[in-house]
Amino acid sequence: MPGYVNIDLWRNPYRQGSDNWRYDLRRVGNWILEEPIHFYDLARWYLGSLGEPLSIYARGNAKNAASPELHDNCSAILNFAQGRFAAVSQTLSACEHHLTMKITGDRGALWATWGGVMDRTWTPTYALKHFDGQAFREIPIDRPTGEVYELSDLITDMAEAVGDSRPPSISGQDGRWAVAMCVKAQESVLSGAVANF
């Protein structure tokens, strides 16, 4: 059973987006809802055997004092049952795009890395390693991975779900939890206190 999940993103600042939407608080809300939402969702998935998260404590800061909701740096700890937790961090004050995920559990550990000059690249570097308590071994990945590849997989999955009249792989409840974790993280950043679910 997983006991600890660590997800860390080091990347370039966000692109402006069409009509500067990503920097417009009325349209984006805050940057925790932008990219970290996927990492909170992933942490919840890996620790799902423990039930839903219990609380979150988050810290963030912004280079632009006029837009404090747009956190250039943000870190959070999601707490689960049995003292197990996930740490999720993101910085938009760096260069390139590098994501690292580490998971430890009762029977070993996983370490995944992904990197590219930009978030949307056709030529990323990536690796997945497993530690069984004795030694690391690399797990082969049989095809390229990254946003430009997986978006088409998600579109295909949704089209097949509609065509076959089956539920999509991701439920509305999963989406609701992803947003709730981000809202509570923002609440924690603003209050400086733990936010309970």
Per-residue pLDDT of the chain (197 residues; tens, 9 = 90+): 899 999 999 998 887 778 877 777 777 778 888 889 999 999 999 999 999 999 999 999 988 888 888 889 999 999 999 999 999 999 999 999 999 999 999 999 999 999 999 888 999 999 999 999 899 899 999 998 998 888 888 888 889 989 988 888 888 899 999 999 999 999 999 999 999 99
Question: 24-48 in b/e burial notation, b at 16+ Cβ within 10 A?
Answer: eeeebebbbbbbbbebbbbbbebbe
Residue 7's pLDDT is 98
Residue 61's pLDDT is 93
Model confidence, pTM: 0.90
Inter-residue contact 143 to 122 (CB < 8 Å) = no
Residue 53's pLDDT is 97
Tally of domains in the chain: 1
36-46 vs 172-191: helix crossing angle, rounded to 10: 110
Q: Tell me the C-alpha to C-alpha distance, in Å, between residue 196 and each of 9, 54, 58, 139.
A: 25, 6, 12, 37
Question: CATH no. for residue 143?
Answer: 3.30.360.10
Residue 42, domain extent: 2-194
Residue 22's pLDDT is 78
Q: CA-to-CA distance for 185 and 188, rounded, in angstroms?
A: 5
Inter-residue contact 31 to 74 (CB < 8 Å) = yes
Residue 140's pLDDT is 95
Residue 20's pLDDT is 76
